[in-house]
Amino acid sequence: MRKRQPKTYTRLTHPLVRDSRDEPFRRATWEEALDRTARGLGAARGAFGMFSCARATNEMNYVAQKFARVVMGTNNVDSCNRTCHAPSVAGLSAAFGSGGGTSSYEEVEHTDVIVMWGSNARFAHPIFFQHVLRGIRNGARMYAVDPRRTSTAEWAESWLGLNVGTDIPMAHAIGREIIHAGLVDEAFVRRATTGFEEYRALVEPWTPSLAEKVTGVPAAAVRELAHAYARAERAQLCWTLGITEHHNGTDNVRALVNLSLLTGHVGRYGSGLQPLRGQNNVQGGGDMGAIPNRLPGFQDILDADVRLKFESAWGTTVQPRYGLNLTEMFEAMEDGSLRAVYCIGENPAQSEADAGQAVRRLRSLDFLVVQDIFLTKTAELADVVLPATAGWAETEGTTTNSERRVQRVRRAVAPPGEAREDIDIICDLAARLGHDWKYADAEAVWNELRSVSPDHYGMTYERLEEHQGIQWPCPSTDAIEPTYLHGRLWEKDPVRRGRPAPFGLVRHDPPVDLTDEEYPIRLTTGRRLDSYNTGVQSGGFPSPLRRGEHVELCPEDAERYGVVVGEEVRVSSRRGSVLAPVWIDTSLRPGLAFMTFHFPDEVDTNRLTIEANCPIAGTAEFKASAIRIEKLPAPTHVR
């Protein structure tokens, strides 16, 4: 028996450099570290990528993308939203022209039906789930679609335990049932959508019985959900990574959006689509333009007028093409066309699918600078490590949450040692590379952003304080807009209604990593209540709930493999293999296993996952790998 202790990270307090990769780090002055960084980046102009940070402030993301675009002349800027919610942004903007969730938390409390699809919000978004619970207590019926009967699903009127990666068949079958039952909101479909006939033809084969065969869920359950959703006067459709972390994540999102178009459950108070963001500023990072295809304010780079506005504001030329996303940047490392990376606050060496491959690629770079608060696994690969501040507690600024609410973050504690604020560091580097930016404080950055982003124009710091955050769009300093987006779709006047929302004509495509005799078990991944991502932050507090990483099996499978709780087993996929102790969970069924990536230093789950990426959004299929479980010859037990 041995007790697993999560690795505890201590804060970085001074810059670290090394002269070659096989040497250990040594302490350096800021002067030296910044000079080296400027040299390393300057040498790689044209082959540079910026990993911005979905956990840092809007202001920092604004400055980071500006650094990439103005100083380095590239649109190669992205962040870890790629590994989680990029498909939501891609799918929603394809339908509605804007990538944000369409409604607000408060509306969930006043709706009639709530569908939680691929979302264990009870664990992953506990305070959002409190709004759901309020809704349930107010009389709403909740439905859960999830391979596992999660804590969230236990609150549902009905839980539908589908096979991993069969969300599109389920959605299409629901759509077909709605059409056949005559429950389509015909006026809405006629006025506010396009492509209905094609959609009808697309979903026609997906009878409830075919859906039952493919998804594993009884046809009656599918029918019941279809009727409940379509007959509700108001309905909310919420999803998380169970939808997006697939090789066809954007298609999954489109399939769900279709259901809202069919029933008119979008653009009204209480009816909408709510992707739940995994990180504090995934929404804001994208809004600030820290993505390869959009400028701040989610404005399209390909729009010449938009570019002109930014070019005159920044006094530079903006490349008239999309940059590489995170996934593409990793691929570009492979072929040598990307040679230097500035990585701020991200830990791709552990958070990327197929982590072994990610580490190899990072090692192949000419120059890697990592700016973080800890010496993460990614930082250990760097040439220069710059100690930064913790965005949420040590800096001023704003972040944007899942309901598009921009809120102030404030400095509560002083950073340790010589750690400096991200924006100051970036500005110092910009100065060394020939761009002398002067920002008195975060508010100055914000005001610059406001001047170029109409959606944020009305949000002064003063108003953000007064209203405890404001949701975008907020074009005016005098008014607050409705809590939901796309009310325009309900306008009678076609001009005000704007572009109708197209149905997404997407097809079922099963997970890439097929199960077979050799790898018979479907592994899916997710979060636990008390832990977060790679555990670098959440490992720091003594959670009584934490029991370290396990491979969770259903009781039947545990019996089949002759393993018991705590027994260490070998878990292997086509890509790698790890040792993990067993946990038994009745929410699983035979052939379905569950792991998290909270404890990569003990069990590196992402050595098992597959880097099969969504071609549109670039998100990997974390939710579906094929594995096998092997009992060890001399089992050890972990408590």
Binding positions for another protein, 380-439, rule CB under 8 A? 390-394, 399-403, 405, 407-414, 416-417
Nearest to 144 by CA among 128, 158, 125, 163: 158
* Cβ nearer to another protein, comparing 263 with 531: 531
Least spacing, CB of residue 622 vs another protein, in Å:
16
* Cβ nearer to another protein, comparing 30 with 123: 123
Counting beta carbons within 10 angstroms of the beta carbon of residue 123, is it exposed (0 to 12), middle (13 to 18) or buried (19 or more)?
Answer: middle
Of 141, 176, 234, 247, the one binding another protein (CB under 8 A) is 141
Q: Is 639 in the site for another protein (CB under 8 A)?
A: no
Q: Is 374 in the site for another protein (CB under 8 A)?
A: yes
Between the alpha carbon of residue 469 and those of residues 58, 131, 270, 441, 512, the distances in Å are 13, 18, 20, 19, 42
Of 542, 562, 633, 634, the one binding another protein (CB under 8 A) is 542
Of 482, 510, 520, 635, the one binding another protein (CB under 8 A) is 482
Least spacing, CB of residue 356 vs another protein, in Å:
26
Pinpoint the alpha helices (H) of 44-166.
58-66, 86-96, 105-108, 121-124, 126-137
CA distance 219 to 210: 8
* Cβ nearer to another protein, comparing 76 with 402: 402
Of 2, 5, 7, 13, the one binding another protein (CB under 8 A) is 13
Of 161, 289, 296, 502, the one binding another protein (CB under 8 A) is 161
- Size of residue set near another protein by CB under 8 A: 99
324-363: contacts with another protein (CB under 8 A): none
Q: Is 10 in the site for another protein (CB under 8 A)?
A: yes
* Cβ nearer to another protein, comparing 36 with 125: 125
* Cβ nearer to another protein, comparing 160 with 362: 160
Q: Is 9 in the site for another protein (CB under 8 A)?
A: yes
Least spacing, CB of residue 282 vs another protein, in Å:
6
Least spacing, CB of residue 175 vs another protein, in Å:
20
Report the DSSP pairing between strands 294-295 and 384-387: unpaired
Identify whether the C-beta of residue 273 lies closer than 8 Å to the C-beta of residue 102. Answer: yes
447-476: contacts with another protein (CB under 8 A): 468-469, 476
Least spacing, CB of residue 22 vs another protein, in Å:
27
88-107: contacts with another protein (CB under 8 A): 105-106
Least spacing, CB of residue 542 vs another protein, in Å:
4
Least spacing, CB of residue 230 vs another protein, in Å:
18
Of 36, 66, 122, 246, the one binding another protein (CB under 8 A) is 122
Nearest to 299 by CA among 524, 403, 449: 449
Of 1, 440, 545, 634, the one binding another protein (CB under 8 A) is 545
Could you tell me what percentage of the chain is helix, strand and coil, using 3-state DSSP and rounding each to the nearest 5? 35, 20, 45
Contacts of 546 (CB under 8 A, 6+ apart): 6, 530, 531
Between the alpha carbon of residue 357 and those of residues 511, 530, 576, the distances in Å are 20, 28, 11
Helices (H) and strands (E) in the chain — how many of each? 24, 27
Least spacing, CB of residue 548 vs another protein, in Å:
16
253-292: contacts with another protein (CB under 8 A): 269, 276-283
583-602: contacts with another protein (CB under 8 A): 586, 589-590
Q: Is 581 in the site for another protein (CB under 8 A)?
A: no
Nearest to 473 by CA among 61, 100, 192, 105: 100
* Cβ nearer to another protein, comparing 74 with 401: 401
Burial 183-210 (b: 16+ CB within 10 A, else e): bbbeebbebbbebbeebbebbeebbbee
Identify whether the C-beta of residue 146 lies closer than 8 Å to the C-beta of residue 152. Answer: yes
Distance of CA 520 to the CA centre of its chain: 28
Question: Around Cβ 218, how many Cβ atoms within 10 Å?
Answer: 15
Burial 244-283 (b: 16+ CB within 10 A, else e): bbbbbbbbbbbbbbbbbbbbbbbbbbbbbbbbbbbbbbbb
Nearest to 445 by CA among 591, 284, 317: 284
Least spacing, CB of residue 401 vs another protein, in Å:
3
Tell me the one-letter amino acid at 247.
Answer: H
Of 1, 22, 127, 197, the one binding another protein (CB under 8 A) is 127
Of 1, 440, 479, 634, the one binding another protein (CB under 8 A) is 479
517-536: contacts with another protein (CB under 8 A): 529-532, 536
- φ and ψ at residue 17, rounded to 5 degrees: -135, 165
Of 36, 82, 149, 607, the one binding another protein (CB under 8 A) is 149
Q: Is 544 in the site for another protein (CB under 8 A)?
A: yes
Tell me the one-letter amino acid at 350.
Answer: Q
Q: Is 155 in the site for another protein (CB under 8 A)?
A: yes
Least spacing, CB of residue 570 vs another protein, in Å:
26
Q: Is 156 in the site for another protein (CB under 8 A)?
A: yes
Please measure the distance between the N-terminal and C-terminal CA atoms of the chain and give it in whole angstroms.
6
Least spacing, CB of residue 462 vs another protein, in Å:
15
Least spacing, CB of residue 291 vs another protein, in Å:
16
Question: Around Cβ 142, how many Cβ atoms within 10 Å?
Answer: 24
Q: Which two tokens stand for residue 307?
A: 């570019």
Stretch that binds another protein, among 65-73, 212-220, 350-358, 377-385 (CB under 8 A): 212-220
- Residue 518 is given by DSSP the state S
CA distance 26 to 22: 12
Least spacing, CB of residue 155 vs another protein, in Å:
6
